[in-house]
Structure 1
Amino acid sequence: MKNQKKLQAVLFDVDGTLADTEQDGHRVAFNAAFQQFNLDWNWDIDLYGKLLEITGGKERIRYFMENFVPSELNKNDLTNWIASLHKAKTKYFESLMETGNIPLRPGVARLIQELRQKKIKFAIATTTTMENVTSLLKSTLGEESIDWFDVIGAGDIVPSKKPAPDIYHWVLNQLDLPAQQCIAIEDSENGLKSARAALLPTLITVSGYTHQQRFDEAVAVLSDLGEPSKPLTQIQGVTITQGWVDYEILNNLINH
């Protein structure tokens, strides 16, 4: 029998994974920022789903301009203008978070509390900004929850965003752990590519915008992390033997 690895850390993506923030959070905030800047742009639900193939908010704005409104590209100091627009968007997103209208996905709070009790390390690896991470955690888990995470890798801390593996390499380096003793929890194909390029076993919990993407390299694909009172739905991969994901299930997944 092969030696069993013991799970040392869980690395969480944020948008779509911790909370379904995209459609009713980020998209709404982008549109509010566009209004503030007197732009007649509107990212509807379908368009935003396509734009999500581009990771990073500033990158998404630039891609939209290049492909939908190329006449706007002649602005003076375009990079700084995009950064200012994105900063306004982040403020709107923070305000949305503070209202508490975007809850954590099923099983997230339960799993985090179990990892805390078992003294298992957990971290964040995301392309969203640190401000967005902080707003979400404070509004859902409380003011002190930022300090629960051993490492938070967010935003522009690395040069290349997902699907590049940079953010996961950075977090693993900070944790000082090998990828094989950790697991990533993601919701998107780009997130899966990023985690797998860093050699991390990866569990997918699909979100509204990602359920039709390809997840062939995931150890398992689930509807969500599940709760004892509201079991998860298995989509593909290693069979989950109960209706919710806990430490033992994650430990089992890294040994497949």
Structure 2
Amino acid sequence: MLKALIFDVDGTLAETEDLHRQAFNRAFAELGLPWHWDEALYADLLTVMGGKERLAHYIDTQHAPEAKALRGLSPEIHARKTVAYGALVAEIGLPLRPGIARLIAEARAAGIRLAVATTTSRPNVDRLLAANFPPDAAPFDVIAAGDEAKRKKPAPDVFLLALAGLNVAASEAVAFEDSAAGISSARAAGLPVLATRSRYTDSHRLDGAFSAVSDLGEPDRPHRHIAGVAWPGGVVDLAGLIRWHETLDGQSTPVQAIGTNR
């Protein structure tokens, strides 16, 4: 029986990644650092999961001679970046990706529990939710954020935290992800994964997802099917997810190998 849906945040709930990139650049400028992360560089840095870890990787690989001193500055850089991200969300807005609000509403109406499992920090999650849901009406029962997990994705820790908070088994839930590392994380926790491509993961392999689509789709804006399970009308809805989940019938999750089809 399907009891819960668990969502990644960055690139899955919303196209947040470029705001994170811009926020890092604002933090660099505030501190007088002559650094600028363009889109191509940031796409490469996204292979490192977690903003703090991404910054440390950049320092170690691009500024090795002064890495020790710069590491000491990292907490202030990241703190300023978090503030800058919140300001950007307030200035620009950050809408949910197609189909997300619809599926969340369907799940809430049906009594399906909802969770977030993300490598981003809790303040970033809170800002996204505040921008898209009324005060005190955020729909998630559990938010498992990056700072709470011992290991970042692709380790399963954050999804295991979400499952524990929901008090459901992995066989009773479906995860939603947009990246190869995220899919690996969810699968390592025993979860079946529905993958959507995002701006910065368009070239990622999606091995391990049972279905891959451009987004969840809306009745008037159907998604593009990529591979695996197809959804009638180009829309991933709760009824379709329940029907798919019922086909598992207690057996091992059938997992499609999904490559770089576009």
Scaled to the shorter chain, the TM-score interval is over 0.9
Q: Secondary structure at the match of 1:184?
A: strand
Q: Does the alignment pair 1:224 with 2:222?
A: no
Tell me the residue number matched to 1:149: 140
Within the candidate set 77, 85, 95, 2:77 is matched to: 85
Which structure 1 segments of 5+ residues have no match?
Answer: 1-5
8 A contact 1:9–1:182 mirrored in 2: yes
How big is the shift at 1:155?
Answer: 2.2
| 1:102-117 alignment, distance < 5 Å | 102-117=94-109
CA distance in 2: counterparts of 1:128 and 1:145, whole angstroms: 21
Tell me the residue number matched to 1:119: 111
- Residue type of the alignment partner of 1:202: V
Deviation string for 1:186-225 (max 9, x for gaps)?
Answer: 0000100000000100000110111211112101000000
Within the candidate set 59, 67, 72, 2:66 is matched to: 72
CA distance in 1: counterparts of 2:171 and 2:243, whole angstroms: 12
Within the candidate set 2, 5, 8, 1:10 is matched to: 5
Q: Secondary structure at the match of 2:136?
A: helix
Runs of 4+ in 1 over 4 A off after TM superposition: none
| 1:149-168 alignment, distance < 5 Å | 149-168=140-159
8 A contact 1:100–1:139 mirrored in 2: no
How big is the shift at 1:252?
Answer: 3.1
- When normalised by structure 1's length, the TM-score is 0.93
Q: Does the alignment pair 1:179 with 2:174?
A: no
How big is the shift at 1:41?
Answer: 0.7
Tell me the residue number matched to 1:48: 42
- Residue type of the alignment partner of 2:120: T
- When normalised by structure 2's length, the TM-score is 0.91
Q: Does the alignment pair 1:213 with 2:208?
A: no
How big is the shift at 1:143?
Answer: 2.0
Tell me the residue number matched to 1:201: 192
CA distance in 2: counterparts of 1:189 and 1:137, whole angstroms: 24
Q: Secondary structure at the match of 1:145?
A: coil
Tell me the residue number matched to 2:226: 235
Q: Percent identity?
A: 44
8 A contact 1:105–1:224 mirrored in 2: yes
Q: Secondary structure at the match of 2:195?
A: strand
